[in-house]
Amino acid sequence: MAAERLNRLWRRIKALGKRGQLDRDLEDEVAFHLAMREEKNRQAGIAAQEARYAARRQFGNTSGVKDKTRDLWTFLALETLWQDFTYAVRTITKKPGFATIAVVTLALGIGASTAIFSVIESVLLEPFPYPDARRFFSLEIHDASQNRPGGRVQYVGPEYLDYAEKNHVFDRVIANDSLDVLYDHGDGAERFHGVVITPGTFEFFGMPALIGRVMQPADYEPGAPPVFVLRYKTWVSHFAADPGVLNKSFVLNGAPRALVGVMPPRFAWGNGDLWVPEKPIRSAAPVDGRFPPAWYLIGHLKPGVTVRTAQADLTVLAKQLAKIYPKDYPEHFAVELVSFTDMVVGSFRTTLYLMLAAVAVLLLIGCGNVANLLLARATTREKEFAIRATLGASRWRLVRQLLVESLLLAICGGLLGIGLAWFGLRSLVALVPPDMIAAETVVRLNGPVLFFALALSMTTALLFGLVPALEAARRDLNDPLRDTGKGANGSFRHARLRDAVVVLEVALSLTLLVGAGLLTRSFVALRAVDLGFQPDHVLTARLPLPQDRYKTAKDVTGFYRPLLARIKTLPGVIDVSETSTLPPYGGIPSDIEVKGKTPTEKWNAVFELPSEGYSRVLKTQFLQGRPFTDAEVNDARRVAVINETLARRYLAGENPIGQRIRINNLENFPDPVSDPWFEVIGVVRDLLNDGVHRPIRPEIWIPYTITGSAARGILVRTVGDPLGLLNAVRQEIWSTDRSVAVTLNGRLEDYINSYDYSGPRFTLLLTSIFASVGLILVVTGVYSVVAYATARRTHEIGIRMALGADPGSAIKLVVGAGLRVIGVGIAIGVAGSLAVSRVIAGELWQVSARDPVTIVGVAVLLLLTGAVACWIPARRASNIEPILALRHE
Amino acid sequence: MAIKKESPGDLLQGTLDLLILKSLARGPMHGYGVAEWIHESSQDVLRVEEGALYPALHRLELRGLLSAEWGASENNRRAKYYALTTAGRKQLAEETEYWRRMSGAVARVLQTA
C-alpha cells in the first residue's frame, strides 16, 4: 500500500512538469470520445447536427469531467492553499489599516509579554549560575518588636562558628564579609570591593576557575602565603583580560598578595571585585585596629529538610546563643531563613510580578482587539462569501480562506513581536534600577515564553477567524444576498460578541490605567517628601583609609583636618564636611542611656561622626541650641547634636539642651571611647535617616575626632555641578595622602535617586507605557467596532434623516449605543480594580490602592476618549446625504 | 460520487473499476471502446457514464493498474489507449474472485425462501 502511494506521488510529481501536456491530452481524449459517439449516432441514421448534440448530451458536462480528471493528477490541496494565500495577501493589503492595527496589536502583546517574562525568568527564577542555588539560605534574626521585615544577618566569628558547627540542617555553611581593598596602581590609590571568604566557599558554589585555580583549604590557614582570586569583570576592566597577571603579586592594603585565579564571567559572589581567604576565629575582639569580621552566613539545606524544620532547629541554637551574646539578640526574636534570591532581589520581585500582570492584561487587550477586528471584518464579507459559495466554493474552502488570512496576520504579528521582544528586552535591561538584581544575573530572551506568546496570539487569531468562518459556512447562502446591510439586525450574534469583547477590553484597560494613576500619585507623593536637608549641589565621596596607618582618632584627624581646609579653599566650593554616613541612609546604631533616666526597655539611636561644616553643607535647621564650633571638633569635646525625634521620644517635656547621653556602642569600637557620655548642645529639625520610605530614627551627631574607627567620607557643597569639582577634590585628597582611595563618588542627589526613586520610577514608567498602549488599543478597538456598526446602519440613519431627524439625533443614536457598552466596561473595570487593589498596595506610598480620585479620574478619561472614538464615525454618518444613505449598499 | 438509485444502469465505483479492468483484459483499448464494450457485453443493460469513466480510467492509471499510450484509432484518429499492467492483471483476478464470492452469496440469500 505504501509502495503504491509512493508510486502515485511519483507519477503526480512527473505530471507537475507537463501541466500543459496533460491539459491538451485530456482535451484530445474527450474530443475523440465525442467524435466516436457522434459518428456512431450518425451511423444510426441521426442527422449530423442532432448526432453531435446527442453525443454532447450523453457525455454531460465536459469541463466538469475534465476538471475532475485533471485534479487527480495535481496536488490539489497545496495548490488551492496557495490560491487562498495569495488571495489573503490581496485582501489584507487592500485594507492596510486593518492589517496594520491587527499586526501591531499582536506584536505589542507578544513583544511586551516576552520581554517582561524573560526578565522575570532571568532575575527571579534562575538568577544564579550555581548548582542547586534554590537551597541556599541566609540566616536572619528578626526582632519581633519591629513590625518591619528584615533583621540581623551578620555574625561575629565565634557566633558564626557555633551556627556552622552545631546546626543539624545545613550540609554546607560558608560566610563572607566585605573589605575595602586599596590598590596603588601608580597614579593614585584605587579601591576594590574585596570579599573575605571562609573555607569551602568555592566548593559550596561548585564553580572551577576560568584560569588558574580557586582557593585550596591550605590558603585559608593563618600564616599561609596571601593569595586572592579575581572576578572576570574586574580582570577585563583593570587588567585587559591579560592571562599574564596570573601568579603575579599585587600590593593590596599595603601587603603583597598573589593572584592565583580568575573566575568565570558569571561568578560574582558578594558582588566582589576580588576574593581573599580567611578562616573565622573564636574571638569577637577587634584585631589590628579593625572591626572584627561580621560574617554573612549562608547555608545549603540538606536534602529533604524543609525551611520550617530548619528554622525550628536554628531557633533552638539561637536561643542558646542569645544567652551568650545578650547584647546582639532582641528580647523577642524569630529566626528566619531567607532564600538566596529573596536576599538579593528582595522587593524587586513584587515589582516584576506586577509588570507581568500588567503585560498579561495588555496581551489580553491585544488579543481582544484582534478578535474584534476579525469579527467585524468577517461580517462585512458575508456577501462575498455567499457569492463564492453560490459559485461552488465548498464550506471547507471558505473556512480555510478565513483561517489562512488570520494565520497570515498572526505570523506577521509574531515576527514583528519577536523583534519587539528583543528590542524591548534590551531597553528593559537598560532601565532596571542598579543593585536591584543579583550581580550574577544575565538577562536573556526566553525561548519557551516567546513560543507561548506566539501560540496564544495565533490561537486568538485562528479562533476568532474561525467563529465567523463557521457561521458563514453554516448559514443559508441566500440570506446575506438578500440582506443589503440595511438595518442593525444584520448579524446580531456577532454584534453581541463584539460588544462583549469591547466591554472586556475597556474593563482591562481601566485596571491598567488605575494602576498607572495610583503609581503616579504615589511617586509624586514620594518626590514631595521633605528630606530635612538640601541634597542638590552636594558632592559626596567615600574615602577608605589604609587601615595599617589610620587607626586612632589622631590618625584620622591628621588626614581630614588639612584636607577639609584645602577643599574649602577650592574655587566653586561653598563648604565641606567630613561624614561617617551618606545621608539620608543610616548612621551607626547604638544603645543609649540618658542621665537621670531608668527606662524599662532598651533605648537606641543612630549616631554620626561629622565635622563642623556638616549642618552648613546639608543646610539643616536648628530648632534649639547651636552646631559644633571648630574648636569643639578639634578638641574632640564630648558634645552632641540630637534630632527632633530623639528629643520627643526620650526627652519629652524637658529642655534637651544640657542633657547628657551615653552612646554605649562607642566602647566596643576598635578605637574605643571610654565612658562615652555627651552633652546635648543643639536640636535639629528631623532629617531622614533610614531612606525616603521609612520613619525617622532617633539620631545623634558627635564630633568625628572622637574615634578613629568607622568608615568616613566627605560632603562638599558646590556652586555649580558637583561633578565639575570631582577632579580638583581628588587632587587635594591625593596631595594629602596618595594611598587613600576615592570611591562611591558622585552627586548626593544621584545616590538618593538611584536608591529611593529609581525603583518606583521603573515601575511607574513601565506601567504608564503599558497603560497608554492599552488605552490606544482600546480606543482603536472601540472606534473600529462603532465605525463598523455605524456603517451597517447608514441606511437606517438615512431613513431617519429623510423623515426629518436632525444630524444631532443621529450622533446621539450612535454615540449613545457606544457609550452604553463602554459604560458597562468601566463599571466592571472599577469593580475589578477594587477587587485586585491588594496586588498593587505594596508598591504604593501614602496613596490608598482604592484611591477614589484616581479611579474616578481614570473612568472619566476612558469615558471621554471612548466618546471621541464613537463620535468620529457618528459624525461621519450624520453628515451623509439622506439620498446617498438610502442607496447605500 | 453520486449514486442514483432511480437509474439501475449506473454503476458503483468499485464495480466500474472491475469492469474497466475486465474490458482491458482482451487488449489495449481507448476510453470510448471501454464504454462501448461494457454496454454491449452487458447486453445493453449497463451504461457507463462518461462523467465517471474518465476519472476512473485516470485514477487507475495513477494507481499503476493501467498504462496508457497514444496511438491511432481504427479510423485514424489520435486516441489514448489503455492497457493492463501486471499489477492491473493481479487486481483484476482478485476483484473477480471477490465479486464471484459476493454475488454468489447475495444470490443465495435472495433464493432462500
Query: What residues of chain A lie within 8 A of the CB of B70, using their CB?
Result: 25
Query: What residues of chain A lie within 8 A of the CB of B32, using their CB?
Result: 32-33, 36-37
Instruction: Tell whether A21 lies on the interface with B, counting CB pairs under 8 A.
Output: no
Per-residue pLDDT tens listing for chain B (113 residues)? 333 333 444 556 578 888 999 999 989 999 899 988 988 888 888 888 887 888 888 888 888 899 988 888 877 888 899 999 999 999 999 989 988 998 899 899 998 86
CA–centroid distance for A66 within its chain = 64
Instruction: State whether B49 and A60 contact (CB < 8 Å).
Output: yes
Strand runs labelled E in A451-546: 538-542
Range of A666-680, A772-786, B70-84 with top mean pLDDT: A666-680
Which residues are A372's β-sheet partners?
A: none
Give the burial string for A834-850 (b: 16+ CB within 10 Å, else e).
Answer: eeebebbeebbbebebe
- Residue A28 one-letter amino acid: D
Pairwise CA distance, residues B63 & A702, whole Å: 103
Instruction: Tell whether A247 lies on the interface with B, counting CB pairs under 8 A.
Output: no
Is residue A611 within 8 A of residue A680, CB to CB? The reply is no
pLDDT in tens, A286-339: 777 778 889 999 999 999 999 999 999 999 999 999 998 887 888 888 899 988
User: Could you tell me what percentage of chain A is helix, strand and coil, using 3-state DSSP and rounding each to the nearest 5?
Assistant: 55, 15, 30
Query: What residues of chain B lie within 8 A of the CB of A14, using their CB?
Result: none
Instruction: Tell whether B31 lies on the interface with A, counting CB pairs under 8 A.
Output: yes
The residue ranking higher by pLDDT, A238 or A443, is A238
Mutation target to probe the B interface, by most B beta carbons within 10 A, among A6, A11, A33 is A33
Of B59, B63, B77, the CB nearest to A4: B63
Q: What is the mean pLDDT of residues A492-506?
A: 82
Length of chain B: 113
CA A84 → CA A77, A381, A461, A462, A473, distances in Å?
10, 15, 17, 15, 16
Of A39, A60, A72, the CB nearest to B58: A72
Is residue A167 within 8 A of residue A149, CB to CB? The reply is no
Instruction: State whether A65 and B55 contact (CB < 8 Å).
Output: yes
User: Taking CA atoms, what residue in A is nearest to B80?
Assistant: A29
Read off the C-alpha cell for A490. 444584520
Pairwise CA distance, residues A617 & B111, whole Å: 122
Mutation target to probe the A interface, by most A beta carbons within 10 A, among B62, B69, B70, B74 is B62
pLDDT in tens, A585-633: 889 999 999 999 888 888 989 999 999 999 999 999 999 999 999 999 9
Q: Please report where in the chains the cell 560574582 appears, as a residue.
A: A268
Pairwise CA distance, residues A119 & A345, whole Å: 12
CA distance A415 to chain B (A): 41
Read off the C-alpha cell for A477. 447562502
Q: What is the mean pLDDT of residues A696-703?
A: 95
Query: What residues of chain A lie within 8 A of the CB of B78, using their CB?
Result: 28, 32
Helix (H) or strand (E) holding A661: strand A660-663
In 3D space, the residue among A253, A294, A298 whose CA is nearest the CA of residue A276 turns out to be A253
pLDDT at A888: 56
pLDDT in tens, A94-122: 878 778 888 888 888 888 888 888 888 88
Read off the C-alpha cell for B47. 451504461
> For chain A, first and last CA: distance in Å?
55
Query: What residues of chain B lie within 8 A of the CB of A28, using their CB?
Result: 78, 80
Pairwise CA distance, residues A11 & A224, whole Å: 83
In 3D space, the residue among A406, A564, A335 whose CA is nearest the CA of residue A88 turns out to be A406
Q: What is the mean pLDDT of residues A236-251?
A: 92
CA–centroid distance for A70 within its chain = 60
Instruction: State whether B54 and A30 contact (CB < 8 Å).
Output: yes
Pairwise CA distance, residues B48 & A663, whole Å: 116
Three-class secondary structure assignment of A777-799: HHHHHHHHHHHHHHHHCHHHHHH
Is residue A734 within 8 A of residue A740, CB to CB? The reply is yes
Residue A107: exposed, middle, or buried by beta-carbon count in 10 A (0-12, 13-18, 19+)? buried
Is residue A174 within 8 A of residue A200, CB to CB? The reply is yes
Q: Degrees (nearest 5) of the Cα angle A792, A777, A364? A: 105
Instruction: Tell whether B25 lies on the interface with A, counting CB pairs under 8 A.
Output: no
Tell me phi and psi for residue A642, to 5 degrees: -115, 165
Residue A666 confidence (pLDDT) above 90: yes
Instruction: State whether B63 and A65 contact (CB < 8 Å).
Output: no
- Residue A369 one-letter amino acid: N
Helix axes A19-43, A48-59, angle to 10 degrees: 130
Instruction: Tell whether B2 lies on the interface with A, counting CB pairs under 8 A.
Output: no
In 3D space, the residue among A760, A883, A870, A887 whose CA is nearest the CA of residue A825 turns out to be A870
Query: What residues of chain B lie within 8 A of the CB of A64, using their CB?
Result: 51
A475 pLDDT band (50/70/90 cuts)? Answer: low
Pairwise CA distance, residues A243 & A212, whole Å: 9
CA distance A25 to chain B (A): 8
Instruction: State whether A60 and B50 contact (CB < 8 Å).
Output: yes
User: Taking CA atoms, what residue in B is nearest to A38?
Assistant: B32
Query: What residues of chain B lie within 8 A of the CB of A33, using their CB?
Result: 30-32, 35, 50, 54
pLDDT at B64: 87
Q: Please report where in the chains the cell 485586585 appears, as a residue.
A: A836
CA distance A26 to chain B (A): 9
pLDDT at A471: 66
In 3D space, the residue among A387, A427, A544 whose CA is nearest the CA of residue A118 turns out to be A427
Pairwise CA distance, residues A495 & A547, whole Å: 78
CA distance B109 to chain A (A): 33
Range of A44-58, A356-370, A740-754 with top mean pLDDT: A740-754
Mean pLDDT of chain A: 86
> Helix (H, G, I), strand (E, B), or coil: what is residue A178?
strand
Pairwise CA distance, residues A601 & A143, whole Å: 14
In 3D space, the residue among B67, B46, B55, B93 whose CA is nearest the CA of residue A72 turns out to be B55
Q: Are strands A189-197 and A274-277 parallel, antiparallel or unpaired?
A: parallel
CA distance A390 to chain B (A): 20
- Residue A481 one-letter amino acid: L
In 3D space, the residue among A584, A614, A626 whose CA is nearest the CA of residue A753 turns out to be A584
Pairwise CA distance, residues A24 & A20, whole Å: 6
Instruction: State whether B80 and A36 contact (CB < 8 Å).
Output: no
Instruction: State whether B32 and A7 contact (CB < 8 Å).
Output: no
In sequence order, what DSSP letters do the residues of A602-647 get, joined into one string?
Answer: -EEEEEE---TTHHHHHT--EEEE----HHHHHTT-SEEEEEHHHH
Instruction: State whether B58 and A73 contact (CB < 8 Å).
Output: yes
Read off the C-alpha cell for A818. 457606544
Pairwise CA distance, residues A39 & A36, whole Å: 5
Residue A62: which region, alpha, beta or left (left: phi > 0; alpha: psi -120 to 50)? alpha
CA A144 → CA A125, A147, A529, B18, distances in Å?
30, 7, 28, 94
Instruction: State whether A8 and B62 contact (CB < 8 Å).
Output: yes
Read off the C-alpha cell for A647. 528629643
Residue A507 confidence (pLDDT) above 90: yes
Read off the C-alpha cell for A231. 572576578
In sequence order, what DSSP letters do the residues of chain B get, joined into one string?
Answer: ----TT-TT---HHHHHHHHHHHHTTS-EEHHHHHHHHHHHTTT-----HHHHHHHHHHHHHTTSEEEEEEE-TTS-EEEEEEE-HHHHHHHHHHHHHHHHHHHHHHHHHH--
Instruction: Tell whether B98 lies on the interface with A, counting CB pairs under 8 A.
Output: no
pLDDT in tens, A727-760: 999 999 999 998 898 988 999 999 998 888 888 8
Pairwise CA distance, residues B3 & A668, whole Å: 106
Which residues are A422's β-sheet partners?
A: none
Of A36, A65, A72, the CB nearest to B51: A65
Query: What residues of chain A lie within 8 A of the CB of B31, using their CB?
Result: 29, 32-33
Of A4, A33, A73, the CB nearest to B50: A33
pLDDT at A382: 72
Instruction: State whether A65 and B50 contact (CB < 8 Å).
Output: yes
Q: What is the mean pLDDT of residues A794-798?
A: 78
Instruction: State whether B51 and A29 contact (CB < 8 Å).
Output: no
pLDDT in tens, A479-488: 655 555 444 4
Half-sphere exposure of A688 (CA within 13 A, CB side): 19
Instruction: Tell whether B51 lies on the interface with A, counting CB pairs under 8 A.
Output: yes
- Residue A562 one-letter amino acid: P
Q: Alpha helices of A325-347 — where are they, by DSSP H?
A: 340-345
**Helices and strands counted in chain A (H then E):** 29, 22
Instruction: Tell whether A69 lies on the interface with B, counting CB pairs under 8 A.
Output: yes
Share of chain A above pLDDT 70, in %: 95
User: Taking CA atoms, what residue in B is nearest to A64?
Assistant: B51
